[in-house]
Structure 1
Amino acid sequence: MAIKKFKPSAGKHHKKRRYPPLGPKKDLKKKKEKKPKKSKAPDFDKAVEKTKRDDQRSESDGDEQQPDSQPISSSEQLTYFFKHLESAIGVRVSSLELEPIKDKCVIELAQELEQDVSNLGEHIKMSYGSSWREILCEGEAIEGKVNPGNPSVLVISSSALRSLELLRGLNSLTKQCPAVKLFSKHLKVEEQVSLLKKRVNIGSGTPSRIKKLIDIDALGLSRLDTIVLDMHTDIKGFSLFTLPQVRDEFWDLYKNCFHQRVLEGSLRICLYGPKPSATKLKNKKKQR
C-alpha cells in the first residue's frame, strides 16, 4: 500500500516558536511620573490656612515663655491682650483708658509655679488672698449676696476636652461647691440651666455655650470678678485667640459681656499658659 506524503500548503505559515531572552529582563516601559493632584479644598479651608499663617507670623516663633527670658508683666500682658482684641474685631483701647487699669486688671501669677493644669487651683487660690475659701469653696447661696448661678470665676477654653482638663486642676476648690461644665458636648442647655439654679463659684466652658447661657439669663455675672483665658495651643498650633470660629465666638462674648467691666476695673483677666516673653514683645515693638 502506497504511503501518501503531505506537503505543507504554500498559503499557510507556521508560527515560529519564540524563546525568552537569556539576559536579564529589562523594563522597557518607563514608569509615568504621577503628577500631584490639585487640591480641591474649598475657599473656607484656604481661608483657615491663611488665618493660621497670619496668626503664626503675628505670634512669631518662640512665643512660649522661655525659662531664661524676662517674664511678661501684668501691664504688658494687658497690652498684648488688647492688641489681639483690636486685631480680631477692631476695638481699640486708648492709652487714656488703659492707664488706670493696666496694673490691676491682669492677674500676675506666681513665677515659681508652672502654669499647667495641675497648678491652676493653687494659682487661683493665691490670686484671692485670705478670702479664697469664702469666695471659691463655700457651697450655700446667700440671699442678696451670693445668688444662684453667679460664679466668681469663669475659665474659658477653646474646646470641651480642654475645659474638662482644667476642671481637674480645680478639684481642690470644688469639693463643697462643684464647678459647672459650660460647654455643649454631651450636655443639654436644660441640664445646665438646672445646675445653675444652685450656688456656683467656678464655671469652665467654651465661648459659645457661655454666651448662650448668659443670653437666656441662666448664667449671671453679678459676682464675676475673674475670667481665666486658657492660652494652651492644640496639636495644630491653634489657641483660644487663633482657632477659627472659636476665636470669633470668644471675642463676641468678651465684647458684649466683659469688656466694659474690664475698663471699669471690676473684672480681672488671667492669661493662663504660655505667653510671649517681655524680651520678645520689646523686639516686636522695635521692628514696628
Structure 2
Amino acid sequence: MGSGKPEKTQKPGRTPKPFGPNNPKSQSKFKKKTNTKNTANRQIKTKTTSVTGNNKNNQPSQQLRYFLSQFESANGVQLSSLELESIKDSCFLDVSQELGQDVMKLEKHIKEAFGAKWKEELCEGKHIEGKIEAGSPAVLVVAPSALRSIELLRGMRTLTKECHAVKLFSKHMKIDEQVSLLMNRVNIASGTPSRIKKLIDIEALGLSRLSVLLLDIHTDVKGYSLLTLPQVRDEFWDLYKNYFHQQLVKGDLRICLYGPIPNGNEFKGKSVELADGDREQLDS
C-alpha cells in the first residue's frame, strides 16, 4: 500500500486468541470407549437438550440462538458445554421493538445502549491523552459491503458532528488514509470484516474502548447477509474468533444483531447416552 505503511509491531495483550476450531482447548473431549466384551451390545442414543440462557424462562434469547447456530454452521463445529456457558444472553444488546429496524432510527438504539453516558462516549470529539485511546471506537459496525456501511452511518449522523465516524472498507479508500484518520479520537466506525481485521492486525484500529459491536444482518436482494454470504461470512468469523470473542466472554463487549432474525433457527446442543449409563457432552 506504499512506503508510508506503518511497521507491524506486536504489543503485549493484543495477541489474537483463537476460538472454536483453531483453539486447542476446544478440541473434542468425546472419546468413544472400547470394550471387547461389550462392543457389540453398546448403543449410542442421541438426545437434544436446549441451551440455557439468562432470561426468565431459562431459555436462550432469539439473538443468542441465531448467533450460535450461525457460528456452528459457518465453522463446521459443535460448541462444547463449557463454551456455551461462556456466551450468555447478557452478551447481546436488545433492540427496542418499539423503535423498529429503520436505519434512520439506529442512533436511538445506540443511545439506549450507553444510557446516561451516551453524549460523553459518542459525541465528544476531544482527544484526552491517557484516557481516550486514539483510533479506538466505542461502537464498531460490521457490514457485508461498503454501501451498507455508509447507509448505517447515515442513521447515526447526528452523533458524529463533532467526532466524525471513520469508514473502514477497501472500496475507494486506501489503507494509509484510514491509518491517518485513526490517529485521532474515534467514537464510531463502520466497515467490512476484511478491512477491519487488517487495520487491527497492523495496530491502527484499537479495541480498548469498544463497548458495542453492531452486526448488520439485513439481507440483500439475493437473500444474503453478513452471516450468510460465503466469503464475507468466513472473513467475519475469522475476525470474531481472533479479536472479539474474548472481550464478549469477559463482559467488556456486547453484540447487537441489527436486522430481522430469520425464523426456525433453533439452537440445540447434543448429548450422547451410552448403553452402560455413561454420558458425555459432545464437544466441537
The alignment's TM-score, normalised by the length of structure 2, stands at 0.70
Q: Given that residues 139 and 188 in structure 2 are in contact (C-alpha distance below 8 angstroms), is that contact kept between their aligned partners in structure 1?
A: yes
Structure 1 counterpart of 2:240, one-letter code:
Y
Structure whose residues are more often strand by fraction:
2
Match of 2:62 in 1: 76
Unaligned runs of 5+ in 1: 1-72
Which one is further off, 227-236 or 84-93?
A: 84-93
Match of 2:153 in 1: 167
Aligned-CA RMSD value? 1.8
Match of 1:268 in 2: 254
Equivalent position SS for 2:215: strand
**Equivalent position to 2:96, from 102, 110, 122:** 110
Q: Does 1:254 align with 2:240?
A: yes
Q: How far has the Cα of 1:88 moved from its partner? A: 1.0
Equivalent position SS for 1:213: helix
Q: How far has the Cα of 1:140 moved from its partner? A: 1.0
Match of 2:72 in 1: 86
1: CA distance, partners of 2:67 / 2:97: 19
**Equivalent position to 1:210, from 196, 203, 211:** 196
Q: Does 1:132 align with 2:124?
A: no
Match of 1:62 in 2: none
Match of 2:220 in 1: 234
Q: Given that residues 75 and 102 in structure 1 are in contact (C-alpha distance below 8 angstroms), is that contact kept between their aligned partners in structure 2?
A: no
Q: How far has the Cα of 1:276 moved from its partner? A: 3.0
Structure 1 counterpart of 2:229, one-letter code:
L
Q: Does 1:141 align with 2:130?
A: no
Q: How far has the Cα of 1:99 moved from its partner? A: 3.9
Q: Which has the larger radius of gyration?
A: 1
Equivalent position SS for 2:220: coil
The alignment's TM-score, normalised by the length of structure 1, stands at 0.69
2: CA distance, partners of 1:140 / 1:98: 40
Match of 1:39 in 2: none
Unaligned runs of 5+ in 2: 1-58, 269-284
Q: Given that residues 116 and 273 in structure 1 are in contact (C-alpha distance below 8 angstroms), is that contact kept between their aligned partners in structure 2?
A: no
Q: Given that residues 153 and 165 in structure 2 are in contact (C-alpha distance below 8 angstroms), is that contact kept between their aligned partners in structure 1?
A: yes
2: CA distance, partners of 1:100 / 1:247: 22
Q: How far has the Cα of 1:258 moved from its partner? A: 0.6
